Structure 1
Amino acid sequence: MKTKIHILLQICLFPCLLFSQIQEISLEECQRKAKDNYPLIRQYDLISLAKDYNLDNLAKNYLPQVSLGGQASYQSEVTKIPVKIPGIHIPEMNKDQYKITLEVSQLIWDGGATRSQSKITQANSDFEKQKLEVNLYSIRDKINQLYFGILTIDEQLKQLDVLTSDLQTNYELVSAMLKNGVAMVSDQDLIRVELLNTDQKRIELTTLRIAYIKMLSLFIHEEISEKAKLILPDNNIDFSEEINRPELKMYEKQNLLYESQESTIKAKNMPKFSLFAQGGFGRPGLNMLNSDFRTYAVGGVRLSWNIGNLYTKKNEYRLIRNEMNSLETQKETFLFNTNVQLTQIQNEIVKYKMLMVKDKEIIQLRNRVKIAGESKYKNGIYQMNDLIQDINAENKARVTQSLHEMQFLQSIYNYKYTQGN
């Protein structure tokens, strides 16, 4: 019976045990979720919609165009035939004239204007999307700062636990010595003060961690438990990889936009052909000497060519070339500045690597000094203040080591962010 109850309890508690498992989250997962849930991501769909609407409107250029017009006018003088033939009445035009016209035109060839505008629309959409990608890329840096901020706090909390354990051990030692009359109550009080100080630091760090967790939750649009465990990122890095920042693709898309604008200059300097048919009703009709209201129709082929655009053609090409040269200069400047940043970060990585080697030696020495201090205190030749200084010095060395480790990792990911890989 007891066995059955035990099994039943295990079955009931199993979901609770699953639920109580500590949440784990990685840096890459945070970066992906932050990008997918950032409000600016919706701009992608808006850019695509705008492109589709513009392309759809451009496609309608080759649909028949219908226009309706009307006019009523009065003129002070009309055309007359300056010849009088006896017995023959030559009619005169009326000074008041009226007409309503309906015209249908069909574009045959617009010199490539519609095609060039379509290319510009597509190129502009690609450029705007890539510019958006640049803005979204900056989120990675914010996520890195929050993530490594939390990891740094976690390391400091671990060192506080080590310090608390050390102080508690010595507190118990002093308590035992106090019972034997070989220690003073003030020594015990000194350790209690240090324990209270560690509690204060723990409260400060825990509060700061909760704030960082909440900010990270807002970015990834997902609730993160305060007890969540952040997976330590790997320290692999390849300094030989080329710069692959989204800004470089943005410069490429902008250059393609300028190239598509060149085709517009060529298109607007070409002639345009269209068919047209016009029907009208008015006075006079096509016969100017007939003063009756009449219907009429006209049809044919129309040519239009704005030759005046040829005057500015060369300068328009030069302006676009100037913009392309300016863009190339911006790209070179960006690459130069990025390489300077990478060199600086690489030096930081090397620096932290060297510091961590020294940290190990310092901790070993500080530990030996602390152990020696504890031995001296037991033998009554060392003051509690001196021992507490040794304990704090060792803890400070451990905290410094953990900070250097986090700074080393963060520098690696700063390098990857700056590199774009």
Structure 2
Amino acid sequence: MRNILILVLCMASFWSTAQQPLSLEACYAAAIQNYPIAKQRDLWQQKNHLETAALYRAKLPKIDLQAQATYQSDVTQLPIAIPNMAITPANQDQYRLTAQANQLVYHGGLIGVNVKLNALQMATEQQEISIQLYQLQSRIAPLFFSILVLQEKNLLLLAKQKQLALKSAEMQSGVQSGAVLIASKKTLEAESLRIKQQLTEIKYQRKNQIENLATLTVLNIDQNVVLVRPTIQTIVAKTNQRPELQLLDLKSQQIDLQKNIIGKNNLPKINAFGQIGYGNPGLNMLDNSFQTFYVLGIRASWKVLDWNQSQKEQQALTLSKGLIATEKERFVIQNQVQLQETENQSYALQEMVTTDKEIIRLREYVEKSAAAQLKYGVITASEYVVALTELYEAKTNEKCHLLQLALAQENYQLLQGQDILNTQ
């Protein structure tokens, strides 16, 4: 009994969770958190951490161990004899074991610049992810609003069906007394069945779109979920924060760092080194025995002439930066056109909503008049159905225009790159 009670409580908890209203912001947040591409953010950060650590390792001394044994066909000998001195030539078989350490002393801050470039490359990849998530939001918004439209249409059709049922019940006594033709009642019943067909069509359209929304957001969305209609707000122009613009800025910064790296590659490179060893012979070639030895020193290298290779590479990077600048200008112009179109669409929808209210007021008057005329047999049921249908079409138009207005305002925010920044 206890297990059954626990099972019932769990099912009730799941059902209450599944029936919670779902907002557009919640869909955005879920997509950004759960969509597979979003999981690449942590991977890029880990990759950057490892690559940065590897770059800093260049500042640490490099230690090499070497061992060799050789046999030479000939060795160095003095061409003359020195009185009272016997000089034994080196053995033809020679042996050497060495350990050498190299320490970078100076290379013009090249490591630090490479670390910055690596961080910028990581930021660029992260921004590419932001662009893909932005595009995902641009797909989620119209899908969310299309489900809302179906949700509102469903409610209006149910209300219309209920009103038809009431009228049909009112006519029942008239049919029984012979005052009302049975055909009039059948007309209302046929219209009710037509509404049932429309409800069935909406049901499966909504099912398909909810499944698509669940796929994009990686959420388990119940078919009976109620979507929250976003609040209609006044369009406000803000600073454009589209991720594409930020990506172009990051690419431009990368070019600046790449030009800096080219310049630093031409600076002197200074290394300190040390070597200790044990071998036969050692550093003294005239001592034919195993000896320990060491060597300390400093080495400098400087690329004096590269035949203007660095200059050509920097000129090419300058041209690449110019291409990025023109691409940014093109994007800003195109984005401005889209914003203007969306803003004008919003203003048009606001005026249409105002007109919708007046149309509904007039249609309600006509429907009430038609209902009274139907009650006293002045008009046929078909004529009443026309008046009722026109009323609910007007109400449907108002709901659709309101949702289209909300979508236009949401698109305006997306075109400015606002929502993706607020949900990350």
TM-score past 0.5 threshold: yes
- Cα deviation for residue 25 of structure 1 reads 3.3
Alignment correspondent of 1:392: 389
Q: How does 1:85-96 map to 2 (within 5 A)?
A: none
Amino acid at match of 2:416: Q
Residue 201 of structure 2 is aligned with which of 204, 225, 248?
Answer: 204
- Cα deviation for residue 303 of structure 1 reads 1.4
**In 1, distance between residues paired with 2:16 and 2:283?**
92
- Cα deviation for residue 411 of structure 1 reads 0.8
Alignment correspondent of 1:338: 335
The answer to whether the 8 A contact 1:23-1:227 is kept is: no
Alignment correspondent of 2:270: 273
Unaligned 5+ runs, structure 1 = 1-12
Matched position secondary structure for 2:232: coil
> Is the alpha carbon distance of 1:292 and 1:310 closer, same or farther for their aligned partners in structure 2, counting shifts above 3 Å?
farther
Residue 352 of structure 1 is aligned with which of 349, 366, 371?
Answer: 349
- TM-score when scaled to structure 1? 0.85
Alignment correspondent of 1:409: 406
Alignment correspondent of 1:141: 138
1:120 and 2:117 aligned:
yes
> Is the alpha carbon distance of 1:374 and 1:412 closer, same or farther for their aligned partners in structure 2, counting shifts above 3 Å?
same
Alignment correspondent of 2:417: 420
- Cα deviation for residue 276 of structure 1 reads 1.2
The answer to whether the 8 A contact 1:274-1:301 is kept is: yes
Residue 106 of structure 1 is aligned with which of 103, 121, 128?
Answer: 103
- Cα deviation for residue 72 of structure 1 reads 4.9
Matched position secondary structure for 2:379: coil
- Cα deviation for residue 367 of structure 1 reads 3.5
**In 1, distance between residues paired with 2:306 and 2:39?**
40
1:311 and 2:314 aligned:
no
Deviates more, 1:221-230 or 1:334-343: 221-230
Alignment correspondent of 1:10: none
**In 2, distance between residues paired with 1:403 and 1:260?**
52
1:51 and 2:52 aligned:
no
**In 2, distance between residues paired with 1:308 and 1:96?**
43
**In 1, distance between residues paired with 2:234 and 2:92?**
89
Alignment correspondent of 1:181: 178
> Is the alpha carbon distance of 1:242 and 1:64 closer, same or farther for their aligned partners in structure 2, counting shifts above 3 Å?
closer
**In 1, distance between residues paired with 2:64 and 2:147?**
68
> Is the alpha carbon distance of 1:96 and 1:306 closer, same or farther for their aligned partners in structure 2, counting shifts above 3 Å?
farther
Identity across the alignment (%): 28
Alignment correspondent of 2:4: none
Q: How does 1:35-50 map to 2 (within 5 A)?
A: 35-50=32-47
Alignment correspondent of 2:245: 248
The answer to whether the 8 A contact 2:102-2:273 is kept is: yes
The answer to whether the 8 A contact 1:91-1:289 is kept is: yes
Matched position secondary structure for 2:229: coil
Unaligned 5+ runs, structure 2 = 1-8, 419-424
**In 1, distance between residues paired with 2:306 and 2:44?**
32
**In 1, distance between residues paired with 2:32 and 2:165?**
46
- Cα deviation for residue 345 of structure 1 reads 1.0
- Cα deviation for residue 250 of structure 1 reads 2.0
- Cα deviation for residue 164 of structure 1 reads 0.9
Amino acid at match of 2:154: L
Matched position secondary structure for 1:298: strand
Amino acid at match of 1:286: L
The answer to whether the 8 A contact 1:276-1:299 is kept is: yes
Matched position secondary structure for 1:24: coil
- TM-score when scaled to structure 2? 0.84
Alignment correspondent of 1:366: 363
The answer to whether the 8 A contact 1:24-1:231 is kept is: yes
Cα deviation code 1:295-345 (max 9, x no counterpart): 432211111223354731111211221221111112111111111111111
**In 1, distance between residues paired with 2:334 and 2:363?**
42
The answer to whether the 8 A contact 2:235-2:412 is kept is: no
**In 2, distance between residues paired with 1:17 and 1:32?**
23
1:194 and 2:187 aligned:
no
- Cα deviation for residue 26 of structure 1 reads 2.7
Cα deviation code 1:234-274 (max 9, x no counterpart): 21133432322122222222222222222211221111212
**In 1, distance between residues paired with 2:132 and 2:378?**
64
Alignment correspondent of 2:155: 158
> Is the alpha carbon distance of 1:258 and 1:160 closer, same or farther for their aligned partners in structure 2, counting shifts above 3 Å?
same
**In 2, distance between residues paired with 1:165 and 1:337?**
49
Matched position secondary structure for 1:237: coil
Cα deviation code 1:80-125 (max 9, x no counterpart): 6555678977665666655433211222212322112111122222
